[in-house]
Amino acid sequence: MDYIKQKTPPVREDRLRACNAFGGTCCDLVGASRSGCLYGLKRAFAQTYTCQLGLSLAILNTLRDAVIIIHGPIGCGGSNIANAGLAKNLQRLRDPRARGLIWLSTNLTEIDAIRGGEDKLKEAIWYAEREFRPRAIIIVNSCVPALIGDDIDGLVEGLQKEVSATIVPVHCPGFKAKIMASAYDAVYHGALRNLVKAPAYYDRVLPDDLEELKEKYSRSRTVNLLNVSSMSRQDELELTRLLQALDLKVNLLPCYAHPDSFEDATEAALSVSICPTHDDYFIGHLQAKYGIPFILRTIPLGIKHTSAWLLDIARFFGLEKEAQQLIAEETRQLQEALAPYRQVLQGKRAFIGGGEIRVGATAALLQELGMEVLGLRIYHYDHFADEIYDELNGKETMVVNVATSQPFEQANLLAKLKPDIYLGHVGLNGWAAKQGIPVCPVYGVNNLYMGYAGMFEIARRLVRILKNPSFNRNLAAHTRLPYFAKWYQENPFAYIDNNVLTGNK
């Protein structure tokens, strides 16, 4: 993989042939993925999609000591208003001196769309430099400048000599991608081109010494732990605890990191992803460019996936025996703690919505708790999830809906499946809650989900929610979703051209 010489990264539709329109069983999905049949599937009707700029901001807004310049009309990134307070609090959990989210907009108008927006961008960069003196200035490039052809990289190249902050263009115009996870690549592309630096040994040694020095670095026990914005500080602490139990050091990035953490990334012995959907672009390039190996397989949720994740890392450092002991002890304690919750959860029927990897691993976790998983709803699907989905019990009948947004399909599906509980991502939960289904978020910035401690917390929360579903029943009694009754009689995947669940087109 080497896209770094390009100014902009490819979108995931092209790079990974990812799919965002599918309705069928889990088994069919994996089969279609492995035979390459998912690419290019479409809907005959679609509600709106999510803009990749918004998801880029989910990472960028967390960076400490950085100013975000949204280069576009005032509406792009308007949702930042809702994030500002939260970003500050969460940054301060990592560094008490953090200033929180600072963002500017170039506020492009119709006149700018004709004359070009480069002057306004230049003015914004100077303002950010003078006013805030940040370590990094991130330029978030939206649809308008991408369409009118503002030469952002040319402008940055000229200005960088005069500005002390590192300027990082991130090209994420919403119109370019229907697979919104392309946002992750856009952010990492900007970081790889501007923040990541060659490791010190590149300049310091003669070529003959390079192998020896590389060996030294691989023995150094630092791991780049790639976090995601949908994990909490508690999640980070739990995973760090497990890695430190193996005597490993952790460099956490990209979320809530200081820009300097990207420089340190090239000194680590190993990069470890907690979500293949999130990180393959970054760690693939770190390996291709700087020879840093990576682990990219699953998310440490539940006993099975946390143990597999830990073992993969331990194997790299020759610490399998130590990891086995750690896993055995953690599992023993967890199983003891889970015993009273299992009785309540046994046989309860769940539906899960969110990102492909988190949803697949959450399904395995619920099955470990004795629950039945009726269906999954995921934003997009690519080959990274094949192994996880292929290993799910009941995959032959488990329904999967691949959809970015498209709540009408989920509403229909939930009306038919009638799960006891819905575990969902932000933006999906409200729809299920209004249908009277008890809801448990699959992530929250103040909640623990990952590792062994995370599984206990999930079980505890599920039991509490299932004990008293009256809030959602009352909600359903006093509200309704905006769909006609006849829609609920139809096939939920009637508008998807791959309808393998019922054979309808």
Three-point CA angle 289, 291, 292, nearest 5° = 110
Q: How far is the CB of 28 from ligand SF4 (least distance, A)?
A: 32
> How far is Cα 62 from Cα 389, in angstroms, rounded to an integer?
31
Q: Which stretch binds ligand SF4 (CB under 6 A): 171-179, 200-208, 311-319, 395-403?
A: 171-179
- C-beta nearest to ligand SF4: residue: 174
DSSP 8-state secondary structure symbol assigned to residue 482: S
Per rule CB under 6 A, is residue 46 in the interface with ligand SF4?
no
Per rule CB under 6 A, is residue 169 in the interface with ligand SF4?
no
Residue whose CB is less far from ligand SF4, 175 or 483: 175
Per rule CB under 6 A, is residue 142 in the interface with ligand SF4?
yes
**Residue 178 C-alpha from the chain's centroid:** 16
Per rule CB under 6 A, is residue 228 in the interface with ligand SF4?
no
The DSSP result for 78-122, as a single string, is TTHHHHHHHHHHHHHHH-TT----EEEE----HHHHHH-SHHHHH
Per rule CB under 6 A, is residue 186 in the interface with ligand SF4?
no
Residue whose CB is less far from ligand SF4, 117 or 173: 173
Per rule CB under 6 A, is residue 72 in the interface with ligand SF4?
yes
Number of residues counted as binding ligand SF4 (CB under 6 A): 9
Q: How many CA atoms lie within 13 A of 488 on its CB side?
A: 13
Per rule CB under 6 A, is residue 173 in the interface with ligand SF4?
yes
Per rule CB under 6 A, is residue 76 in the interface with ligand SF4?
yes
Residue whose CB is less far from ligand SF4, 50 or 491: 50
Residue whose CB is less far from ligand SF4, 72 or 259: 72
Q: Map residue 376 onto helix, strand or coil.
A: strand
Sketch the per residue contact string, 311 through 350, with ligand SF4: x for CB under 6 A, - otherwise: ----------------------------------------
Candidate residues 27, 29, 87, 143; the one interacting with ligand SF4 per rule CB under 6 A: 143
> How far is Cα 124 from Cα 156, in angstroms, rounded to an integer?
12
Q: How far is the CB of 77 from ligand SF4 (least distance, A)?
A: 7
Q: How far is the CB of 49 from ligand SF4 (least distance, A)?
A: 9
R_g (Cα) of the chain, nearest Å: 23
Residue 225: name the closest of 296, 311, 326 by CA. 296
CA distances to 7, 24, 68, 77, 213 from 204, rounded to whole Å, are 29, 56, 34, 43, 10
β-strands 349-354, 421-424: how paired?
parallel
Q: How far is the CB of 50 from ligand SF4 (least distance, A)?
A: 9
Structure tokens at 152: 């952002």
Structure tokens at 250: 């952790």
Provide the binding-site residues for ligand SF4, judged by CB under 6 A: 51, 53, 72, 76, 142-143, 173-175
